[in-house]
Amino acid sequence: MDGRAASLTITDKIPYFLDAGVEPIVLSAITGLKDDRFPHFQYIAWGPSGFRFDFRHWIANKYGRGWFYKLTTRTVSILLAPLIAIEKLCLGYSSQWSWSLPAFFHGYRLIRAGKVDVVLSVGSAWSAHLAGVWLKKVTGIELISEVHDPLVIRKNPNDQGFNRPKNRDARFRHYLENQLTRFPDKVWWFTEGALHYAKVRNPNLNTLNNAHGFVVTPGAQPPGSLNNNQAHQYTDTLNLCHFGSLANDRSLSTILRALIPLFQKHPEARDLIRVHAYGAPLDSLTVEAIEKFGFSDVLLAHGRLEIDPLTGKSGRQRVAEKMQEADILILLHGNDEWCAEYIPSKFYDYLWTGRPIWGITHRNPQLDQMLLERGAYLSAEGDSEGIAMALERIWLDWQAKQLIEPIWKPIGVDQAVSTILTHVQIR
């Protein structure tokens, strides 16, 4: 899916796997584009809530979001409503769980036909891992698993994740994490924090007789074919740009609140600073802050950049261009405990732009170290005074045309594939 982190993480690896002699067969949802370089099968989820979710995206991709989209999706939603209610009542899982059913059955058929040597489950969506574990149990095939996001969400620094969650979806993810430490031949996580807590909960990860857990830094391909540090041009406006999703725990209201003391101390900054949001709707806290502080002209929401039919540029290419135009790239980490186990995928795209990053991070020494060793503005989430001071430093550096020149140390996908192939012997 153009611009979606979970999709790009595996899509970017494909050329390197092909160069290494791996012959992929991909099973995915129908919500993205079909790849014609190898067999690529797309399946719709079989459960009613998953079917509704996939159907909406498929219709939007094929026909846009006009009257036909509204008519068909509303009709399908009405027809499926009773079944969705039963599904939620009986299972209580997130909607994507049922994609594991077609993935298992079609994967089983391919394995029995002798077309598959190794199964790689990739998620983000935990339904892929569920299908992979099922295939391992039934066929005994070699299974390797790449865990993007923590399956067990801890509540605070003292919570190790041992407690049985009340939410049924969370309870199942807890169970699935344990399955991923027992059945895959190899399993890896994207951060040192995620691997650490997985080992705390699953001591068998520390033994050589079971799935050997390790860390793969995902990296990113140069977005939009960008592979050089482009020269920056100062303009008459300081542009701070955020790319990616927003939520109340990862909100641009943090930046807007820090503007208040800056504007009081430097009134001229009010007309010269603009905050740009690309890629997602604004969260409710940001909307509230805009209204409260009268910042409708300060924060500019551009929404998601899709493929441009006039130029043929993909959404990813357009995003890369906008990143290059930024004076500062904002990296919001969040304020939940799971930040200790998570690094935003957008960070790896940012590194290719050669633009200074302002990271507002939470309890993640690995991310802090990567930012500092490349040259960045760094603040701690929740430290309002520190965030305001960092913003003032950015303002003064921009006025002097002396913004931090980041050290050119992007992290490519080639190193991720090399790490995987070093650990996994592909037959």
What would the pLDDT profile of 323-337 be if each residue is shown by its tens digit? 999 999 999 999 999
| Residue 73 to residue 90: CA distance in whole angstroms | 24
What would the pLDDT profile of 225-264 be if each residue is shown by its tens digit? 555 556 788 999 999 999 999 999 999 999 999 999 999 9
In a domain, 408, yes or no: no
The mean pLDDT of 47-63, rounded to a whole number, is 92
Q: Give residue 3's pLDDT band: very low, low, confident or very high (50, 70, 90).
A: low
Same domain for 153 and 242, yes or no, is no
Same domain for 368 and 293, yes or no, is yes
Burial class (CB in 10 A: 0-12, 13-18, 19+), 122: buried
Same domain for 19 and 167, yes or no, is yes
Structural domains of the chain, count? 2
In a domain, 237, yes or no: yes
Same domain for 194 and 276, yes or no, is no
Same domain for 35 and 184, yes or no, is yes
Per-residue HEC secondary structure of the chain comes to CCCCHHHHHHHCCHHHHHHCCCCCCEEEECCCCCCCCCCEEEECCCCHHHHHHHHHHHHHHHHCCCHHHHHHHHHHHHHHHHHHHHHHHHCCCCHHHHHHHHHHHHHHHHHHCCCCCEEEEEECCHHHHHHHHHHHHHHCCEEEEEECCCCCCCCCCCCCCCCCCCCHHHHHHHHHHHHHHHCCCEEEECCHHHHHHHHHHCHHHHCCCCCEEEECCCCCCCHHHCCCCCCCCCCCCEEEEEECCCECCECCHHHHHHHHHHHHHCHHHHHCEEEEEECCCCCHHHHHHHHHHCCCCCEEEEECCCCCCCCCCCHHHHHHHHHHHCCEEEEECCCCHHHHHCCCCHHHHHHCCCCCEEEEECCCHHHHHHHHHHCCEEEECCCHHHHHHHHHHHHHHHHCCCCCCCCCCCCCCHHHHHHHHHHCCCC
Residue of 378 and 229 predicted with greater confidence? 378
Residue 320 is predicted with a pLDDT of 87
Residue 57 is predicted with a pLDDT of 87
Same domain for 373 and 309, yes or no, is yes
Same domain for 185 and 140, yes or no, is yes
Residue 316 is predicted with a pLDDT of 80
What would the pLDDT profile of 187-217 be if each residue is shown by its tens digit? 999 999 999 999 999 988 876 455 578 999 9
Same domain for 380 and 270, yes or no, is yes
In a domain, 72, yes or no: no
Same domain for 163 and 275, yes or no, is no
Residue 123 is predicted with a pLDDT of 86
The mean pLDDT of 166-182, rounded to a whole number, is 96
Tokens describing residue 156: 């605070």
Question: Which residues 6+ apart lie within 8 Å of 116 measured at CB?
Answer: 25, 107, 110, 141
Residue 392 is predicted with a pLDDT of 98
In a domain, 57, yes or no: no
Residue 310 is predicted with a pLDDT of 84
In a domain, 76, yes or no: no
pTM for the full predicted model: 0.90
Residue 426 is predicted with a pLDDT of 55
Same domain for 103 and 208, yes or no, is yes
Residue 376 belongs to domain spanning: 224-399
Q: Is the pLDDT of residue 383 over 60?
A: yes
Question: Which residues 6+ apart lie within 8 Å of 140 measured at CB?
Answer: none
Orientation angle between helical segments 384-399 and 253-265, nearest 10 degrees = 60
In a domain, 64, yes or no: no
In a domain, 411, yes or no: no
Same domain for 204 and 258, yes or no, is no
Q: What percent of the chain has pLDDT over 70?
A: 95
Residue 427 is predicted with a pLDDT of 45
In a domain, 254, yes or no: yes
Mean pLDDT of the chain: 93
The mean pLDDT of 289-301, rounded to a whole number, is 98
CATH of residue 161's domain is 3.40.50.2000
Same domain for 278 and 325, yes or no, is yes
Q: What percent of the chain has pLDDT over 90?
A: 81
